Chain A
Amino acid sequence: DAEITQSPRHKITETGRQVTLACHQTWNHNNMFWYRQDLGHGLRLIHYSYGVQDTNKGEVSDGYSVSRSNTEDLPLTLESAASSQTSVYFCASSDPDRNEQFFGPGTRLTVL
């Protein structure tokens, strides 16, 4: 069965370190997204991609970057982790014909 996975599921890191969160989908979807979810804010869009070599900034992109070298993967990098980036991160993918998003299980990131 097609799926979308994220790794690691939990991560603790220190301020200033570079962190990369992985997202892998086997739906063969062109569209992929990264969100963060915090109490009181709901899901906020960080970056998104409509296909290989395409990346776009979302609502809260500062301090984050993504790259899309193939259809299946969209890794999210925190260049220099800050305590404000402690959050739960969700990756999602969608088929452009349907727009319905399928979410990964999430990564809980703590920056100390």
Chain B
Amino acid sequence: GQNIDQPTEMTATEGAIVQINCTYQTSGFNGLFWYQQHAGEAPTFLSYNVLDGLEEKGRFSSFLSRSKGYSYLLLKELQMKDSASYLCAPLSGGSYIPTFGRGTSLIVHP
């Protein structure tokens, strides 16, 4: 089975930096996704990490440590529109199907 743990809710101030952590246990490992989901909308792809290290994409970066079963999503220069749920989704070995965590609801306030 799979176990995915991420905080339920976080708050941050506009312009600040926030780090959303995710720990996971999977049967084998094929990579890890982060998705963003605004209230009432579909999830949208943010990042995909297969190898250890940090991948940067604009204001968003994602980090992976395979040996520790740990990932984080780093959001810089927060904007009000970043208020959303962030879903951590690891891929088990030999699978095309990510398993989604319950998500972290991020609230950005002025």
Contact = CB atoms under 8 A, between A and B. Distances in A.
Q: At the interface, is chain B mostly helix, strand, loop or mixed?
A: loop
Interface band, chain A: 20 to 34
Nearest to A33: B97
Interface of A: 31, 33, 35, 40-45, 48, 50, 58, 90, 94, 96, 98-106
Contacts, number: 47
Interface band, chain B: 10 to 19
Nearest to B40: A106
Interface of B: 30-31, 33, 41-45, 48, 87, 91, 96-103
Contacts of A35: 100
B88 to A, nearest CB: 10
Given A99-B30, A99-B48, A43 B43 contact: yes
13 contacts: A31-B96, A33-B97, A35-B100, A42-B87, A42-B102, A58-B97, A90-B43, A99-B98, A100-B45, A101-B33, A101-B45, A101-B98, A103-B44
A43 B45 contact: no
B27 to A, nearest CB: 14
B62 to A, nearest CB: 13
